[in-house]
């Protein structure tokens, strides 16, 4: 499993917006983020609940297993990139 996890719901408009930023990140920075759909996949939903532990309580939810840093909901490209690279960031 990749250490960068993106939990999303298929019909979630916020997730779609964030996934566009993930695709840009993967292309520009050569970073791979593992996308896990949770609204229609119970195994991925279980994984989300194990990791989330009420940090976000929904999607989109991004988790870096190396740094244990997370992003809840929408974020800027700069925040997403800092999260992925293990750099300091502040989510608004």
Matching residue, tokens 């925040």: 79
Domain segments of the chain: what residues? Answer: 4-85
Class of domain 4-85: alpha beta
Q: What is the pLDDT of residue 42?
A: 98
How do residues 66-80 score in pLDDT, each as one tens digit?
999 999 999 999 999
- Helix axes 77-85 and 13-29, enclosed angle (nearest 10): 60
Say whether pLDDT at 2 is over 90: no
Say whether pLDDT at 92 is over 80: no
Say whether pLDDT at 85 is over 90: yes
**Contact predicate 26/84, CB 8 Å:** no
Say whether pLDDT at 1 is over 70: no
Rounded-to-integer distance, Cα 13 and Cα 90, Å: 23
**For the chain, what percent of residues have pLDDT higher than 90?**
92
């Amino acid at each position: 499993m990749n250490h960068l996890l993106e939990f999303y719901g298929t019909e979630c408009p916020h997730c779609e917006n964030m996934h566009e930023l993930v695709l840009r990140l993967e292309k520009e920075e050569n970073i791979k983020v593992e996308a896990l759909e949770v609204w229609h996949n119970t195994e991925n939903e279980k994984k989300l609940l194990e990791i989330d532990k009420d940090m976000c309580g929904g999607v989109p939810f991004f988790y870096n297993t190396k740094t244990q840093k997370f992003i809840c909901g929408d974020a800027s490209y700069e925040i997403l990139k800092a999260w992925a690279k293990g750099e300091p960031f502040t989510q608004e």
